[in-house]
Every structure is written in C-alpha cells, then in structure tokens.
C-alpha cells in the first residue's frame, strides 16, 4: 500500500509539473501602418500646436482575449503640423525635425515596448507600462489603453503624455533655461494613437 501511495503521489507531482510548464499560446497581431493613426499636441505659454506623425511598425500580443505585450515604432521624419498653413507650417515642421527638438536626421525613429500589462475592471481596458525611446534615451512611461475586436482586427487606442525634458529636448524648456517668459514651451506633450492590427 505504501509503495502504491508513493507511486500515486509521484504521478500526481509529474502531472502537476507538466501542467505548470505547459506553454502559453501567444497570438501576434501586426499593425497596419495605413490604417493606424498618431496625432500629437504641444503646448506653449501663448497657445498650442497640433499635428500628425506616421506609425512605422507595430504589433500587439494576446493571451486569449487579454493583451499581453506589444510594441510600436514612430517615423519621426514624418512629423506634420496640421494647425498652420504655408510658410509658418513649413517653418515649424522643419524646426521640430531639427536638433533643437527631435533631430530626426540622427534619430529618425522613436520606439515603445510594453513591459507589463495590468487589466482594469472593464473588459478591454488596461494599464500599460513600458519603455519609450526618443533620441536614443529610454524612459519608463505608463498610460491607459483600450482594445476592441472590430471585424476580426484588434483596435487599440491610447493617450500618452510625454515629458520631452526626459529625452534631452531642450528648446524653450523651463527645465533647462531661465527667464523664458512667454517664449516658454511646456515640457509635456500629448500623443494619441490608434493602432489597427491583424494577423
């Protein structure tokens, strides 16, 4: 009886161990750069400016219906201003791409990689934690995201607040310069992303 009990116990341990180490199937969805959109908004003492930037690549990982990971890359050379026209539009776009701001000649891509996903109370809502890299400087950021299933695709929406001073973007920043007065450009700017991804 003791021998049978030991064998039974060992069998149970083996079965439980096998279950514990069963591989979790993760499904990967690739972002459509044509269908996905990114908008930005920056603020200064005397007003604000808005525009778009293109998604270069992206993916979302799911464990069942739950968001499990993902990443995206932004084409910084595609920065566009949408609230100005003509000469002023061109000047601001050129300035944002210059070394004063994002230096896109040397740093053409910004990236974000998810490191942790925390499901919230409502299905499809998540707190996302990850690493944002701009100008080869990486900082952890956190934001809330919503993911829906739409016609067999995953549509993820999120609003991010980025502090440019974390990435050595100094122009007009009160974090680096004194007495800027009404020429101050605030450090925080907004990014709204809608990523449409499919298999």
User: Band of the pLDDT at 95, cuts 50, 70, 90?
Assistant: very high
pLDDT recorded at residue 14: 46
CA atoms within 13 A on the CB side of 141: 25
Structural domain spans, the chain: 24-198
Angle among Cα 165, 48, 196 to the nearest 5 degrees reads 80
- Number of other CB atoms surrounding residue 192 within 10 Å: 14
Burial class (CB within 10 angstroms; exposed 0-12, middle 13-18, buried 19+) of 196? buried
Could you give the CA distance from residue 11 to residue 63 in angstroms, rounded to a whole number? 29
Residue 46 burial (CB count, 10 A) = 9
Q: Tell me, what's the pLDDT at 25?
A: 86
The pLDDT assigned to 121 comes to 86
12 pLDDT more than 70 = no
Residue 18 pLDDT more than 70? no
- Cα–Cα distance for residue pair 198/151, rounded to 1 Å: 10
- Tens of pLDDT, residue by residue over 33-85, are 999 999 999 999 999 999 999 999 999 999 999 999 999 999 999 999 999 99
The band of 11, judged by pLDDT with boundaries at 50, 70 and 90, is low
What is the rounded CA–CA span in Å between residue 49 and residue 109?
21
* pLDDT of 86 higher than 80: yes
The contacts of residue 134 (CB under 8 Å, 6+ apart) are: 102, 107, 110, 162, 164, 167, 169
Averaged over 116-136, what is the pLDDT?
97
Q: 21: pLDDT confidence band, cut at 50, 70 and 90? A: very low
Q: What pLDDT score was predicted for residue 22?
A: 47
Report CA-CA distances (Å) from 160 to 59, 125, 189, 190: 17, 15, 8, 6
pLDDT computed for residue 7 by the predictor: 54
Specify whether the CB–CB gap between 116 and 160 falls below 8 A: no
> 176-194, pLDDT tens digit by residue?
999 999 999 999 999 999 9
For range 145-150, the mean pLDDT: 97
Is domain 24-198 annotated with CATH 2.40.128.110? yes
Does residue 189 contact residue 160 with C-beta atoms inside 8 Å?
Answer: no
């Amino acid at each position: 009886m003791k021998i049978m009990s030991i064998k039974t116990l060992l069998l149970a341990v083996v079965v439980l161990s096998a279950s514990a180490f069963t591989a979790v199937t993760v499904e990967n969805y690739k972002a459509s750069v044509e269908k996905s959109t990114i908008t930005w908004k920056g603020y200064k003492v005397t007003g604000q400016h808005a525009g778009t930037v293109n998604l270069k690549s992206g993916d979302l990982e799911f464990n069942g219906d739950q968001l499990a990971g993902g990443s995206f890359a932004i084409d910084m050379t595609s920065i566009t201003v949408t609230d100005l026209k003509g000469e002023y539009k061109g000047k601001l776009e050129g300035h944002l791409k210059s070394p004063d701001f994002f230096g896109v000649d040397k740093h053409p891509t910004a990236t974000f990689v998810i490191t942790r996903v925390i499901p919230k109370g409502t299905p499809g809502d998540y707190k996302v934690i990850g690493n944002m890299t701009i100008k080869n400087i990486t900082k952890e950021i956190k934001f809330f995201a919503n993911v829906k299933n739409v016609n067999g695709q995953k549509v993820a929406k999120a609003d991010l607040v980025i502090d440019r001073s974390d990435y050595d973007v100094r122009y007009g920043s009160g974090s680096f310069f004194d007495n800027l007065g009404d020429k101050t450009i605030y450090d925080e700017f907004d990014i709204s992303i809608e990523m449409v991804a499919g298999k």
